[in-house]
Amino acid sequence: MMQRLRSSDPGFARDFARIVRDRRESDESVARDVQTIIEDVRLRGDEALAEYTEKFDGHVPEDGNWQIPLEDCREAFDALQPELRAALELAAQRIRAYHEAQLPEDRDYTDAIGMRLGARWRAVDGAGLYVPGGRAAYPSSLLMNAIPARVAGVERLVMMTPTPKGEVNPLVLAAAHLAGVDEVWRVGGAQAIAALAHGTKTIKPVDVITGPGNAWVAEAKRQLFGVVGIDMVAGPSEILVIADAKNDPQWIAVDLLSQAEHDPVAQSILITDDAAFADQVADMIGVEIAMLPKAKIAKASWDAYGVIIVVDSLDEAPALANALAAEHVEIATDNPEVLFDQIRHAGSVFLGRVTPEAIGDYIAGPNHVLPTGRRARFSSGLSVLDFMKRTSFIAGTDQALAAIGPAAIALAEAEGLTAHARSIELRLGI
């Protein structure tokens, strides 16, 4: 059942530490299975893809063509109801504007000794975008992955999506058209990630792979990091809500369920300073779950991983939030900035009573691809920088080399790297 903790209880530190340690991610058997799939795809390419697609998705294209025509994507977009098309276009516009502001500037300057220094940012050549097609299909995730890549300047966007029984979600195809995806392939799972990384006879490899997926997809990305770049190793969704008793308990209950309905192993946590309010939220969650189409998923998540923490004062909340380093953090108080200033580890923070996490999932602008499993301690949400790399440059002059060359020679000799030292000595005429 859902856990309820009180920070003043003697066993709180022990119980809270157990929640922090809980990973809710793939086990060793998944890692072994994924390793086998990756190696099989690397060695047998398209033949392995066909076998795994038939095994896991129940189909193989009759014509042997794994690629979905871009015309199908355009037709799906044109067929959208006007209201939904306008919503997707608004989301794309806001996501693009936010990420355009992230573009880094090149540096080029000459220092005091006359040495020219700087760095240039350039996009990768190709990016692979994974779009789930199992429990749910998310066109919003495609926009969040594809648009930053385009803004960064990536020339080739390759989308991989599983198509159970050969069916493709038309909303995903419509989003692919809106985002300007170049290739769409009906391949999913760890085998899709392996194909993007190693390439096959029909699918050219990419340089970076991004996008959410199940435990097998996440594990494949983890194992292939280094062969390609990845956005992150993402685990189950999570939300932390910090709320006082001035909130509507129904609002907070639904905010918690907004992540619980994603996955049976998603986690929703409430921190409040009012025990009566905590009771109201808990009661309202029971009411709201019963009305959800995905009630079974949400109930499994809340029962197994839901947590309510009652603190004596919300001043305690930032330290707890920093330990949890949650994917999403809502601060629903009169003056959320006071607590926000103390939050050091969070994927994304939602400030105030009228900023539900769901607004960030779709339309606000910042990316909703965020670190989970406490990885917000050392990583950030997806950005244009995930599709770019920085190349530094140096341009010397006789004067500049004379000024710093002797120090470089001394360091090279101290490290026993004689050719390093000699390459400088020759230019200085030493």
- Is the model's pLDDT at 64 over the cut of 70? no
What is the per-residue pLDDT for 133?
77
**Residue tagged 């058997």 (tokens):** 29
Single-letter amino acid, residue 239 = I
β-strands 229-230, 238-243 pairing? unpaired
Q: How many whole angstroms separate alpha carbon 191 and alpha carbon 211? A: 15
- Burial class for 334, CB neighbours closer than 10 Å (0-12, 13-18, 19+): exposed
Percent of the chain with pLDDT over 70: 98
Residues 298-348 have pLDDT tens digits of 999 999 999 999 999 999 999 999 999 999 999 999 999 999 999 999 999
Q: Which of 177, 198, 328, 345 is catalytic?
A: 328
CB 211 within 8 A of CB 182: no
Residue range 3-17: average pLDDT? 95
Residue range 206-215: average pLDDT? 93
Catalytic, 328? Answer yes
- Is the model's pLDDT at 25 over the cut of 90? no
Residues 220-277 have pLDDT tens digits of 999 999 999 999 988 899 999 999 999 999 999 999 999 999 999 999 999 999 999 9
Question: Which residues on adjacent β-strands are paired with residue 391?
Answer: 120
Q: How many whole angstroms separate alpha carbon 293 and alpha carbon 33? A: 32
Q: CATH fold of 3-22+235-365, please?
A: Rossmann fold (3.40.50)
Residue range 43-49: average pLDDT? 95
Q: How many whole angstroms separate alpha carbon 104 and alpha carbon 86? A: 30
Q: How many whole angstroms separate alpha carbon 355 and alpha carbon 332? A: 8
List all residues 6 or more positions away from 11 whose beta carbon is below 8 Å from its beta carbon. none
What is the per-residue pLDDT for 312?
98
What is the per-residue pLDDT for 417?
98
What is the per-residue pLDDT for 134?
55
Catalytic, 99? Answer no
- Residue numbers in the known binding site for substrate are 237, 259, 262, 328, 361, 415, 420
Q: Do domains 3-22+235-365 and 28-106+123-230 have the same CATH topology?
A: yes
**Range 28-106+123-230: architecture per CATH:** 3-Layer(aba) Sandwich (3.40)
Residue range 163-189: average pLDDT? 91
- Residue numbers in the known binding site are 130, 191, 214, 237, 259, 262, 328, 361, 415, 420
Residues 102-112 have pLDDT tens digits of 999 999 999 99
Q: How many whole angstroms separate alpha carbon 143 and alpha carbon 157? A: 12
- Is the model's pLDDT at 135 over the cut of 70? no
- Residue numbers in the known binding site for NAD(+) are 130, 191, 214
Mean pLDDT, rounded, of the chain: 95
Residue range 358-372: average pLDDT? 96
- Is the model's pLDDT at 217 over the cut of 70? yes
pTM across the whole model = 0.93
- Is the model's pLDDT at 65 over the cut of 80? no
- Is the model's pLDDT at 384 over the cut of 60? yes
What is the per-residue pLDDT for 62?
66
Residue range 62-82: average pLDDT? 90
In the chain, what are the domain boundaries? 3-22+235-365, 28-106+123-230, 397-428
- Is the model's pLDDT at 26 over the cut of 80? no
Q: Which of 327, 345, 357, 368 is catalytic?
A: 327
Measure the CA angle with vertex 270, ends 339 and 310; round to 5°: 85
List all residues 6 or more positions away from 189 whose beta carbon is below 8 Å from its beta carbon. 37, 52, 56, 57, 162, 213, 214, 216, 217, 220
CB 395 within 8 A of CB 109: no
- Is the model's pLDDT at 63 over the cut of 70? no
- Residue numbers in the known binding site for Zn(2+) are 259, 262, 361, 420
What is the per-residue pLDDT for 169?
87
Residue range 129-145: average pLDDT? 85
CB 137 within 8 A of CB 162: no
- Is the model's pLDDT at 381 over the cut of 90? yes
